[in-house]
Amino acid sequence: MAHVPLIALERLHKTYPAAGAQPTAAAVVALNDVSLRVAPGEIFGVIGRSGAGKSTLIRCVNLLERPDSGTVHVHGVDLTALTPQALQQQRQRIGMVFQHFNLLQSRTVAGNVRYPMELAGGRSPAEMDARVHELLALVGLADFHQRYPAQLSGGQKQRVGIARALANEPQLLLCDEATSALDPETTEQILSLLADICQRMHLTVLLITHEMHVIHTLCDRVAVMERGRIVEQGAVIDVFLQPQHPTTRGLLANAGFLLDEGEATQGGQPVLQLTAVGEAAQQPLLDLLRTQCGLRLNLLEGRITRIKGQPVARLRAEVLGADIPLADLPAAVARLGGHAQWLGAAQGAQA
């Protein structure tokens, strides 16, 4: 990697003692040899099912949770080796957004956003007020300074949470299921706010989620967690198009993505899967294949997803016939910038 990573987690282990008094109860291994690097400016997502260890992992990055072993470097500093005071200072460079907002109920919206600046010190009251104004305008709450958290919707509460996380101008933002308590429409709004803010402020983000949708909307890279381990990681587009681990495949299938294994044949006709990314997905691929190769298709299913705004199209179709040998079709699709693959038993049909 060209850059020094902004976050470097090396071989983290974390075990929680067994709950309750019974000596037979097993301890919970929440992190099992987890290493992760996040480059400056990158939006890195960690996805996994409930209980996979995601919250434990993200809380280790600012040592809200201390790993039993392993090292945590942020901005090149080993946080595990710091005095409490030095750790406090480093934490001010890390913003955090929580699933349940964690707002102070007794403080107004403005008071909540001001709070981390008061803790950090170093700003005059006028400077803090100016920063509060700036941040609340940024998150679309310019008219809400004097409201209390109880008077806000979930989406508004999370906007306050985001403004508060940014108060001390962190370069790194940690998001623990930031949209999981919100309805789908509000989720969209908060995700686009986060995308906008990250781009404008050149933030590095580590986020955790159980929703695939969050990953492909926001993230550059993704790691998949299962039972305290990272089982797969890579660029979002690669993981989406070629998931390797059964857990990843399961998460993608649940989110409605078409995986490589599909219906083999329909009524004895070979089934072709076409995948097109970016520009290739924006041209009339099917029309070009019809005019250039005489390809006649019966569409079975398809899906267009946007990965960070870039279209990724995948569709499956029965091949009814073509003017070129069927075995030459994948190469013809490749010449148009797409990717074609015979599915299941249809592989035999291409010969």
User: How many residues make up the chain in this entry?
Assistant: 351
Closest CB to ligand ADP among residues 51, 337: 51
Q: Which two tokens stand for residue 61?
A: 């990055």
Q: Are 74 and 94 in contact (CB under 8 A)?
A: yes
Q: Which two tokens stand for residue 23?
A: 């000596």
CB of 222 to ligand ADP, least distance (A): 14
x/- mask, Mg ion, residues 10-49, rule CB under 5 A, reads ----------------------------------------
Backbone torsion region of residue 267, taken as left when φ is above 0, otherwise alpha when ψ lies between -120 and 50, otherwise beta: left
CB of 22 to ligand ADP, least distance (A): 14
Residue 55 within binding range of Mg ion, rule CB under 5 A: yes
Residue 30 within binding range of ligand ADP, rule CB under 6 A: yes
CB of 208 to Mg ion, least distance (A): 7
CB of 207 to Mg ion, least distance (A): 11
Closest CB to Mg ion among residues 55, 108: 55
Q: Which does 56 bind (CB under 5 to 8 A by kind): Mg ion, ligand ADP, none?
A: ligand ADP
CA distances (Å), 112 to each of 101, 147, 187, in order?
Answer: 11, 11, 22
Closest CB to ligand ADP among residues 92, 187: 187
CB of 225 to ligand ADP, least distance (A): 7
Q: Are 97 and 158 in contact (CB under 8 A)?
A: yes
Q: Which does 178 bind (CB under 5 to 8 A by kind): Mg ion, ligand ADP, none?
A: none
Rounded distance between C-alpha atoms, residue 181 and residue 345, angstroms: 43
Closest CB to ligand ADP among residues 92, 179: 179
x/- mask, ligand ADP, residues 39-58, rule CB under 6 A, reads ---------x-xxxxxxx--
CB of 120 to ligand ADP, least distance (A): 27
Q: Which does 30 bind (CB under 5 to 8 A by kind): ligand ADP, Mg ion, none?
A: ligand ADP
Cα angle at 113 between 108 and 118, to 5 degrees? Answer: 105
Q: Which of 11, 16, 143, 291 binds ligand ADP (CB under 6 A)?
A: 16
Residue 187 within binding range of Mg ion, rule CB under 5 A: no
Query: Residue 214, class by beta-carbon neighbours within 10 Å (0-12 exposed, 13-18 middle, 19+ buried)?
Result: buried
Q: Which two tokens stand for residue 49?
A: 């099912």
CB of 181 to Mg ion, least distance (A): 12
Cα angle at 138 between 136 and 141, to 5 degrees? Answer: 40
Given 3-state DSSP classes, what are the helix, strand and coil percentages for the chain, each rounded to the nearest 5? Answer: 35, 30, 35
Q: Which residues contact 303 (CB under 8 A, 6 or more apart)?
A: 256, 257, 258, 313, 314, 315
Residues that bind Mg ion (CB under 5 A): 55
Residues that bind ligand ADP (CB under 6 A): 16, 28, 30, 48, 50-56
